[in-house]
């Protein structure tokens, strides 16, 4: 504290320190709220990405099954055509 023989100066200094501390606490609270919001947004984006990956995996599986079905059908036709010749 500043050298102050007068109690009023000491009281004003203490009040200014409290106000400064309150400003720091308020700023940290705002930063924490912003960080929490950013974290939630990142989690939401990650969940969306995961769903997109799962959708693509399912689509890939469906296409693979369809490709196998078409290949089997083509082999059957080829075998049938070969028997006719």
Residues 25-77 have pLDDT tens digits of: 999 999 999 999 999 999 999 999 999 999 999 999 999 999 999 999 999 99
Evaluate whether 24 touches 31 at the Cβ level (below 8 Å). no
pLDDT above 60: residue 2: no
pLDDT value at residue 46: 99
Nearest in space to 73 (alpha carbons), one of 84, 85, 83, 81: 81
* Residue 30 region by backbone torsions, left for phi larger than 0, else alpha for psi between -120 and 50, else beta: alpha
Domain ranges of the chain: 12-84
Question: Residue 11: which residues within 8 A CB-CB, separation 6 or more?
Answer: none
CA distance 24 to 18: 10
pLDDT value at residue 7: 80
The DSSP symbol for 6 reads S
């Amino acid at each position: 504290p500043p050298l102050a023989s007068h109690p009023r100066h000491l009281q004003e200094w203490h009040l200014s320190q409290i106000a400064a501390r309150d400003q720091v606490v308020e700023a940290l609270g705002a930063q924490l709220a912003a960080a929490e919001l950013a974290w939630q947004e990142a989690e939401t984006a990650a969940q969306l990405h995961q769903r997109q990956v799962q959708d693509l995996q399912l689509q890939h599986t469906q296409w693979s099954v369809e490709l196998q079905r078409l290949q089997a059908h083509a082999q059957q036709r080829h075998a049938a055509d070969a028997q006719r010749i």
